[in-house]
Amino acid sequence: MEFSWLSDPFYQSYLLEGFINTLLLVIVSAAGGLALAITLALARLKGPRPLAWCIHGFTTVMRGTPLLVQLFFFYYGVGRLLEGIPGIQESLIWPVLRDPFFYGALTFILSVGAYSGEVIRGALISVPPGEREAGRAFGMSPTQVFFRLWLPRAIQLCLPTLTGEMILLLKSIPLVSTIAMMDLLQAANIIRDEMFLVYEPLMLIAGIYLAMTVVLTLVLRQVEQRFPGMRPTRGRRLIPGRA
């Protein structure tokens, strides 16, 4: 086992950059993706029919095609198309549009939106409608009913599934190394090439991913436990130890 490269400041900076990029990409994709998922789920349930059909089509395409293909499609396809727009290379947003981070985030946001959107839609459906009706009956506005009653209950119902989705997202991030983004895998690959090593850098980033997954799981478990009201059917007393 050869780990001398760990003390090389040059490689340390690669690894640090890769770690920060990976973390940033997860946070941006999770936040944007979940916001999109909630919007899509609500629009599919309550929006006009044609909109619901469009979302259904979008979801089918996003869930039916490989993530790597989508990433290439946005980076090489859409990215190259944008490049050709006259004047765009001089515009202020060009640094963003040129950055692989942008295409990675875009792809992951759309992907999380499609997968988690279906999860959240199912959860929204399974909240007993009487709970929303009670909100309306007391004069709450549709917005209040959604954000105070309906959505929190749906999230509560699907939180374990969403945790799984977020772990899958985290572990999809290395795909961006294929579009020249400096993530953890890219950093490891550089070290592997330059040090003529096969396993050691991979073992390091595998360990880092495992640690990140454990932290993510622990954090989301804390969130789950913030909902102590989550118990079986209403009207039934919970007997401790016999749920």
Partner 1 sequence: MTSSPNANTAPDTSSSPGATPASAIARPVEARHIVKRFGDLEVLRDVSLQVDEGSVTSIIGASGSGKSTLLRCLNLLERPVQGELTIADEAILFDRNRQGDIIGLDRRQLQRLRARVSMVFQQFNLWPHFTVLGNITEAPMRVQKLSRKHAIRRADHYLERVGMADKRDSYPAFLSGGQQQRVAIARALAMEPRVLLFDEPTSALDPERVSEVLSVIRSLADEGRTMVMVTHEMAFAREVSDQVVFLDQGVVGVAGTPQEVFDNSPNERCRRFVSPAA
Q: What are the residues whose beta carbons fall under 8 Å from the beta carbon of 63, sequence distance 6 or more?
A: 114, 115, 118
CB of residue 231 vs partner 1: minimum separation in angstroms? 3
Binding stretches for partner 1 (CB under 8 A) = 128, 130-131, 133-141, 144, 148-149, 152-153, 156, 227-232, 234-238
Neighbours of 94 (CB within 10 A): 14
CB of residue 165 vs partner 1: minimum separation in angstroms? 21
The amino acid at residue 19 is F
CB of residue 139 vs partner 1: minimum separation in angstroms? 4
Q: Is the CB of residue 125 less than 8 Å from the CB of residue 49?
A: no
Among 180, 73, 80, residue whose Cα is nearest residue 88: 80
Q: Please give the Cα distance from 176 to 75 (Å, whole number).
A: 10
CB of residue 117 vs partner 1: minimum separation in angstroms? 22
- Of 24 and 155, CB closest to partner 1: 155
- Of 203 and 230, CB closest to partner 1: 230
Q: What are the residues whose beta carbons fall under 8 Å from the beta carbon of 154, sequence distance 6 or more?
A: 120, 123, 124, 126, 127
Residue 8 tokens read as: 């090389």
- Of 56 and 226, CB closest to partner 1: 226
CB of residue 222 vs partner 1: minimum separation in angstroms? 16
